[in-house]
Chain A
Amino acid sequence: MSDATSALNGAAYHGYVEVQEAGLRGMITLRGDLASVDIKNVATGLGGVDFPAQGHCNWVEDRGIAWMSPDEVLVMVPHSEVPAALETARNVLSGQHHLAVDVSDARAVFVLRGAGLREVLAKLAPVDMSPEAFPAGHFRRTRLAQVPAAFWLGEDDSAQVICFRSVAQYVFDILSHAARPGGEVGLYR
């Protein structure tokens, strides 16, 4: 199918931190017994990374796995691979109680870049963004101002922020507001 568009078509804001909508990203909500070998195999096979510990996200290029709850992970794959990935999950897990569902289009993803991204997030999320408390690879389901969101930090002064698609414009606007030049707090450098 052609004509698939992300919520904001890659909109970007160049503040003291760069805010960019990342475009379409394949995401599968996988619920099941996270101790099960099959669940782990499906997740790691599709996500292409190690199975994450509680509160973590493992992420390489455009694949990854985020720990969502004691019975849920988010498996991330390229958007076009989702149907095949769901088919794989269905086949492998056919005998066991689980849920694998496409949530790619229910979401919008933003990438933040820049040394100040920790404090930009700390303006909106009630999260301890100090490097000791929230190192790269930690994953947090929280809120940004008034809407639910989740994010994790990479090793390279970048952060990935996931929110619901319907509020993509709102999240873009509040991130841009927080990243406006002049708003530097000067922490976490």
Chain B
Amino acid sequence: MSTRLATGGRFLDRNQPRVFTFNGTDLSGFAGDTLASALLANGRSMVGRSFKYHRPRGIVASGAEEPNALVNLGQGAAFEPNQRATTTEIFAGLKAESQNHWPSLEFDIGALNNLVSRFLPAGFYYKTFIHPRAAWKHVFEPIIRHSAGLGRAPKERDADRYEHFYHFTDVLVIGGGVAGLQAARAAAADGGRVLLIEQSAQWGGRAPVDGGQIDGKDPEVWINDALEELEKAPNVTIRRRTMGSGVYDHGYVLGYERIADHTPGDTRPRHRLWRIRAARVITATGAIERPLSFAGNDIPGVMLASAMRDYVVNYAVSPGDRTVVVTNNDDAYRTAIALKNAGLDVPVILDARPQAEGDLPRAARDLGIRIETGRAIARVKGRKSVTGVAICAQAGEGAVLEEIACDAVAMSGGWSPVVHLWSHCGGKLIWDEAGAFFRPDPDRAPISHDGQPFVATAGAASGQMTLAETLKDADSAGKVASRALGLAAGRKGAPKASQPQEGPITPVWMMPQGAGPALRQKMWLDYQNDVKVSDVQLAAREGYESVEHTKRYTTLGMATDQGKLSNINGLAVLSGALQNDIPAVGTTTFRPPYTPISMGAIAGEARGDIFQPIRRTPIHDWHDDNGAEWEPVGQWRRPYTYRRAGESTHDAVMREVKNTRQHLGLLDASTLGKIIVKGPDAGRFLDMIYTNMMSTLKPGRCRYGLMCSENGFLIDDGVVARIDDDTFLCHTTTGGAERIHGHMEEWLQTEWWDWKVYTANITEQLAQIAVVGPNARKILEALGGMDVSADALPFMAWADGQIGGFDARIYRISFSGELSYEVAVPASQGRALWDRLIETGQEFGVMPYGTEALHIMRAEKGFIMIGDETDGTVIPQDLGLNWAISKKKDDYLGKRAQARSHMTDPDRWKLVGLETTDGSVLPDGAYARGSGTNENGQKTVIGRVTSTYYSPTLDKGIAMGLVLNGPDRMGEVINFPALDGSATPARIVSPVFYDPEGEKQNV
């Protein structure tokens, strides 16, 4: 059983005990512990259940590669599932629960899957749940979905806050081990800006645990000296708890800073996502040890050899009283030595190699440790914890030679450089025969915009596995980066390092090498997703030759650890089964993030009230205070209607329409786009932009115009006012202001760059209020200051002046068919004008109206709405707007396109009014049936509804629609089927339902 050692622990502060809770039990650790080390210190080696078979799972690693020790962390609004215990720093009050079991970690019903595991091989789901077809949706999928997933989904809104941070640097160094520290020193020596980030809370990486000497110093001393130097350098920024998450094109890198995971509630943001632009990136990401594939290698108590000495040295945790070490390399002997030095028993080191003669095996022998070469583990004994190992010959089939009692097993299958960040942006790998790993190929680095490599690796990440080589490589990487930026690299040489000499590794992908099916079914590759050697071999037999296909078929490496431990072992087994070389099989693709990052960090500040910008008019608060039901129009919020107490939304809209038609309505039209177009060529320019002739418009007058894309389709409409000879003001739709301004600028900057025209989008400069209804003139006259009579300000004219003391421009335009003025004032005066109009308007029956009343009134008049009658496929001719298309002009945007055969096809659907025979309201978007079927066997359709409303003015449903040969079929009745099988008959009529002569607006 694991326990805390009486002394030692580099990271621990024994004066600061920390009480935390695991599965409801209070446990104690120290400041500096991770949750994993604290659990081990409390004898908790079993911490979870696997995904498929619900096998007991123990802590196997000490860092980001951990596949097993995932917990539900926190409670309520601070709850988060699948948190890695090995990278979770403990704090007082931490609450963790193990995952994927019911009813408890110790007794789990789901473990029944384990008993029938031989019936649940790779691809089980694909093979089993195919028939009967209906069962998938109703039976299998719900059951699988229920059993899927490890942790619980959070139920409450996240209480924490998150933010982004943009950072620019010459050199980014990822990884704060000795390689990263040296690379940063070398890169910073000549003044380049350097950012050094380290994912954990401690600098220095593995070197202090693994030993050796740097520049004649203990590694820990050297690390502290290097840190001190970097901290003092003004051109260097260093951050702990910040992981290099992903490397993207052109030196864009995401860094994931876990600011307050270990200090919850201290007012700091929980996570910060660094959005880094680096001219050069150095990944000093180290290496990850590989497990060995022997039967029972997943039983709690079996641990990576390096992790085991991390726990002993860094956290003063004994993984067990008696630990068997099994290895194919010299490095694992360090664990045996560390355990022995800590006063723990190592009954045997099983070395799969025929001989072990390096410095480290010799040192182990000198300590009196028994070493058995050519030996392997036949199987590990125990269920929820290790009780012993059965030993066999590595060369054989697993015949047991000896059994040794132990409570822990340290395994080492060699090391794999962490190549993830190198590979994210296209860095290629080569297979290193001597080291038995894939390492970055420096000749095929990720390339930036200038054709130059922008990522380099340093240290173990390059495949340099000794301290001396690591430091040399890192120093060179730093200097190369500095030189690439045009800086003279420092002249100082790399630090000199010494370490025990290591003998060569012998690759071992299965233990023993001749293991039969029974053993192979108990050799775990992917601990989290329960993928075994036998599953990968089955996939190969079933024809899965591509490593990417095998991955998806077996789910190897698809768990939350993304195969950090299983990837290389799995593809080695696959290559063995395919009788192919490992490099020929290749790796799966490495994709960001390196380890999962929080959704909160990705969203940054964009949540709650600031999830999205909301655009507010100067009158927004009045609407809000007066019952506005909001309608989003782009990012604007416009009042849909103003509901009074006890009133339904429908009734409110009806009231607003009637009141406007009978008395006086006010509309906040501030959101409508307003673009100034000025210059000697402004008229010529607008003649191209609009289908109408605008150059003939007289100053002081307005004209309604249509804009088309160069493909002929209607993109926007609005009223143009000519301000003076050189200046026009173009109104656009609410959603169109930015888009149309961009459209104009694009044509001016790319095609008509020599035309003398300037534009400016002044939409937000003005608050604009539509004063509408029979009493519109009366209220403006009551305000006083401008002559708004029919003679002074006729229909489609505008005038500047002071009305009621406001600096105003009044347009006599109407989108409702009533007498109507739109009064524009500077936005800073908008609210005051609105308040004055409401106050003054009381005697004239004033009521504000919203967008729905606006829509109904325009539909009653047969006015089109961009986005209702148009959808990007409609041309003005479809809408009967030929009167707005100038015949005199040589050209306008869309003219050529509108002459093409499809556009002039007489069978294009055209705009008509639709009136139901029973007065009901047609469903929006409904299609009209024709007779027969089309070439696809579908029922023929002959038209569709584009706008449909209940008209309180006419007291019946009215609609507009696009109908085949519509204008030629006035009076005909066509049918609009509903989903329930019924059909609504509607008569084709003129789209102008109300005041076709325009007598109301022209008074």
B-binding residues in A (CB < 8 A): 1-7, 24, 29, 31-32, 71, 79, 97-99, 101-107, 119, 122-130, 133, 145-147, 164-170, 173-174, 177-178, 180-183, 185, 187
Contacts and interface: CB of A to CB of B under 8 A. Distances in A.
17 contacts: A2-B832, A3-B829, A4-B829, A24-B828, A97-B679, A97-B680, A101-B765, A105-B764, A106-B827, A123-B165, A165-B827, A167-B613, A167-B615, A167-B635, A168-B616, A177-B605, A185-B272
Contact of B267 (A101, A130, A182): A182
B237 interface: yes
Interface in B190-216: 193
B654 to A, nearest CB: 30
Contacts of B17: none
B756 A164 contact: no
Contacts of B604: 145
Nearest to B269: A183
B716 to A, nearest CB: 19
A183 B763 CA distance: 36
B198 to A, nearest CB: 16
Interface in B610-640: 610, 612-618, 635-636
6 nearest CB pairs, A to B: A182-B267, A3-B832, A166-B615, A99-B758, A105-B827, A128-B168
**Highest count of chain B CB atoms <10 Å: which of A4, A7, A124, A125:** A4
A169 B806 CA distance: 25
A106 B828 contact: no
Contacts of B680: 97
Contact of B765 (A3, A98, A105, A182): A105
B752 to A, nearest CB: 14
B825 to A, nearest CB: 8
Contacts of B617: 166
B828 A31 contact: no
A5 B831 contact: yes
B433 interface: no
Interface in B785-823: 805-807
Given A97-B758, A180-B161, 20 more contacts: A3-B831, A5-B618, A5-B831, A6-B828, A71-B758, A97-B680, A99-B759, A101-B765, A103-B760, A105-B764, A105-B766, A105-B828, A107-B764, A122-B167, A123-B165, A145-B610, A164-B615, A166-B617, A167-B613, A177-B163
Contacts of B269: 182-183
B165 A119 contact: yes
B266 interface: yes
Contacts of B760: 29, 31, 99, 101, 103
B609 A173 contact: yes
B610 A170 contact: yes
Interface in B147-164: 161, 163-164
A79 B614 CA distance: 26
Contacts of B266: 182
B764 A166 contact: yes
Contacts of A185: 165, 272
A102 to B, nearest CB: 6
B166 interface: yes
B678 interface: yes
Contacts of B658: none
**Highest count of chain B CB atoms <10 Å: which of A71, A107, A174:** A174
Nearest to B611: A146
Interface of B: 161, 163-168, 193, 237, 266-269, 272, 275, 277, 604-606, 609-610, 612-618, 635-636, 676, 678-680, 756, 758-760, 762-766, 805-807, 826-829, 831-832
A102 B615 CA distance: 20
Contacts of B613: 145-147, 167, 170
Contacts of B756: 97
B959 to A, nearest CB: 33
A124 B164 CA distance: 7
Contacts of A103: 760, 762, 765
A180 B609 CA distance: 15
A122 B165 contact: yes
Contacts of A165: 618, 764, 827
A106 B764 contact: yes
Contact of A123 (B166, B193, B614): B166
A94 B805 CA distance: 29
Contacts of B763: 106
A134 to B, nearest CB: 10
Nearest to A164: B764
Contacts of B167: 122, 187
B163 A130 contact: no
Contacts of A173: 609-610
B737 to A, nearest CB: 11
Given A99-B679, A99-B758, A166-B617, A104 B765 contact: yes
A69 to B, nearest CB: 10
A165 B161 CA distance: 26
B612 A123 contact: no
B606 A146 contact: yes
Nearest to B679: A97
A99 B613 CA distance: 30
A106 B760 CA distance: 11
Nearest to A145: B605
A146 B604 CA distance: 12
A98 B617 CA distance: 29
Contacts of B679: 97, 99
Contacts of B268: 182-183
A24 B756 CA distance: 32
A2 B168 CA distance: 47
Contact of B605 (A79, A178, A187): A178
**Highest count of chain A CB atoms <10 Å: which of B758, B762, B763, B807:** B758
A181 B269 CA distance: 9
**Highest count of chain B CB atoms <10 Å: which of A3, A31, A133:** A3
B165 A166 contact: no
Contacts of B635: 167
Nearest to B267: A182
Nearest to B195: A187
A4 B764 contact: no
A185 B613 CA distance: 25
Contacts of A71: 758
Nearest to A24: B828
B762 A101 contact: yes
B609 A123 contact: no
A145 B606 contact: yes
A101 B676 contact: yes
A182 to B, nearest CB: 4
Nearest to B763: A106
B615 A1 contact: no
Contacts of A3: 829, 831-832
B605 A123 contact: yes
Contact of B758 (A31, A105, A164): A31
B829 A146 contact: no
Contact of A106 (B163, B609, B612, B765): B765
